[in-house]
Amino acid sequence: MSQTLGHIINGEYIPDTARCQDVFNPGLGKVIRKVALASADTVDKAITAAENAFPAWRDTPPLKRARIMFRFHQLLTENADEIAALISEEHGKIHHDALGEFQRGLEVVEYACGAPELLKGEHSKNAGPKVDSWSELQPLGVVAGITPFNFPAMVPMWMFPMAIVCGNTFVLKPSEKDPSAVMRVAELLQQAGLPDGVLNLVNGDKEAVGALLADNRVQALSFVGSTPIAEYIYATGCANGKRVQALGGAKNHALILPDADIDNAVNALMGAAFGSCGERCMAISVAVVVGDELADTMVAKLAAQLATMKVGIGTDNSMEMGPLISKEHMHKVAGYIATAEPEGAKLVVDGRELSVAEYPDGYFLGGSLIDKVKPGMKVYDDEIFGPVLCVVRVASMQAGMELINQHEYGNGTCIFTRDGEAARYFTDNIQAGMVGVNVPLPVPVAFHSFGGWKRSLFGDLYAYGPDSVRFYTRRKTITQRWPSAAVREGVSFSFPS
């Protein structure tokens, strides 16, 4: 991997050293390479390349587009370990977790291989006397994606495979914190036979984002990140006439009922709260426990599990949790933990006490467990995005559901119970976009769609799955009639029926 990462524009690697930023290995706490930060002029070149490639790609039959995706899928499969290693190196997540992320992105590529079926329109013969009517799904043109650090390969693969098989051309701006994995993914798509200019990748920061938002050639934009930025992207993009889907933050609750399989719930919460160091928009960060007796039991079991959790560098596959993405984020999460007891909560396990002797400069925090948390506390209200699990005690299932529904975020949630009636009531009445029953991370499979409610999503359509076809295309309906040459028709001023 190059010491300074540039861009991929019109099928060519473009070196760029005008303005750069360090890329760290967060487990070592050391700079391992640099990444270019694109200027507005560089973004303009990428958009121009996409614009020029669009007419020919739009006219490429969906079956031929799908064949490229099949070859891409094969290359991704063959290079999975390499891509996962790049994720571990720059993000810090453990290699097995990085492979899991990669697999979920690969599933979207598999779904994209069905483009000929997904893009079929609808046809009605004789909708009227000798009148036929049909609809077509046509691509938008140049579309763009802005993706976050926490899933450097998966989230980009949520976007560009579906956009491309729908006939669009794409400009991707990945996170500047961990860009290497998706650059390798983009190279493999070129090897699969994608024409030059159909996918362009520009590394960058706010300047690149601003250029994508401002350029009227960009017809649509997909974003995943924090809620304040998602809201800004949505408002600015819409004001500039773009179609926008902006996925924001989360504060995902798990409701645990007294009849639940407690050991199963504890194991599930450990993985959902502390996997990937809690840097997931679907992480469970609040356990809502019904009854003090159950809460006492769960807190004791969670604390015991945390005492044995293995924390270390991402390249060590025997570890269970890695470092946070940056020193700044580590300090931010530690700052949240520091507010817990002054605001009245009980800090059962303090992750700030962890040290990883082999890697003293790494950005490590242990898992933190905070009991007796209430709304109004910073650790409850805010998205911490770190290895912190809060426990809220409630008297009943109904009280727990009201608590969840009152939160500003509505990304995902789950319930642990053996009661089918309770589970059905929960799924029917909880206000969140993705709901699990004894499933702590209810991330939809690739042939469904991913998205939350309330301030977790700005826009009308979810990511990947059927909604991605709707987002990256627009419907055109054609009505056709061939009148008989032997019969001359008179003028009609009535509305056609």
252-437: CATH topology is Aldehyde Dehydrogenase; Chain A, domain 2 (3.40.309)
How much is the mean pLDDT over the chain? 96
Tokens of 215: 């350029």
At 416, which helix (H) or strand (E)? strand 412-416
Catalytic residue among 166, 277, 281, 414: 281
What gap in Å lies between CA 497 and CA 129, rounded to an integer?
10
pTM as predicted: 0.95
What gap in Å lies between CA 29 and CA 39, rounded to an integer?
28
Is-same-fold flag (4-248+456-478; 252-437)?
A: no
List of the chain residues with pLDDT < 70: 1-2
Residues with Cβ within 8 Å of residue 259, at least 6 apart in sequence: 417, 418, 419
Residue 1: predicted pLDDT: 54
- Catalytic residue status for 113: no
What gap in Å lies between CA 415 and CA 434, rounded to an integer?
12
The alpha carbon of 73 is separated from its chain's Cα centroid by a whole number of angstroms, namely 20
Tokens of 419: 């009661």
What gap in Å lies between CA 392 and CA 255, rounded to an integer?
10
Cβ atoms < 10 Å from Cβ of 331? 12
What gap in Å lies between CA 383 and CA 401, rounded to an integer?
19
Listed in order, strand segments (DSSP E) in 120-205 are 122-128, 131-139, 142-146, 169-173, 199-201
> pLDDT tens digit string along 269-313?
999 999 999 999 999 999 999 999 999 999 999 999 999 999 999
Residue 2: predicted pLDDT: 57
Residue 210: predicted pLDDT: 97
365 SS3 class: coil
What residues does each domain of the chain span?
4-248+456-478, 252-437
Residues with Cβ within 8 Å of residue 350, at least 6 apart in sequence: 337, 366, 368
Contact, 90 vs 177, CB < 8 A?
A: yes
Contact, 311 vs 322, CB < 8 A?
A: yes
Decide the pairing of beta strands 346-349 and 368-371. Answer: antiparallel
The region, left, alpha or beta by phi > 0 then psi within -120 to 50, assigned to residue 276 is left
The CATH class that applies to domain 4-248+456-478 reads alpha beta
Report which residue type is found at 247. Answer: L
